[in-house]
Amino acid sequence: MSTRCFVLCAALLLALTGCERKFTRERFEMIQVNVDDREDVRQILGKPAGELDDQWLYDDLDRHYSAIIYFDDNGRVQGKEWMDAHTGDWEGRNPNANPPPQGEVRERRKKKVRIDED
């Protein structure tokens, strides 16, 4: 009886630890630019959903967020980008892309709308 209980508890423990999600915002924040390499990223976030030459793509469709990790020629993290469709957060950018254009504000308007409660 005790052997059966031990085996059942061990199987349950293995099943629960195997269900842990590796790709989370907290784990994404652990990745350090110019410090971590491809193997470090794989250990922190797990296997990517897609691999290009210098980019790894991660996504969690259930939680509506995704990330891109950019690598240099030596395999070190060169940059990272986080996108959360649920909250609208978008942080980071491709380090090889041109900087965003600097716009000019010509006019700003503020409009007040009154909403009456029925």
Q: What is the pLDDT of residues 47-94, one digit of tens each?
A: 999 999 899 999 999 999 999 999 999 999 999 999 999 888 899 988
Read off the pLDDT band of 103 (50, 70, 90): confident
Dihedrals phi, psi of 24, to nearest 5 degrees: -135, 165
Tell whether pTM > 0.85. Answer: no
- CA-based angle 30:38:93, to the nearest 5? 60
| Average pLDDT score over residue span 7-17 | 47
Residue closest to 55 by CA, chosen among 98, 100, 101, 97: 97
For the chain, the average pLDDT equals 82
Residue located via tokens 């652990």: 30
What is the CATH class of 20-92? alpha beta
| Average pLDDT score over residue span 5-28 | 63
Percent of the chain scoring above 90 in pLDDT: 53
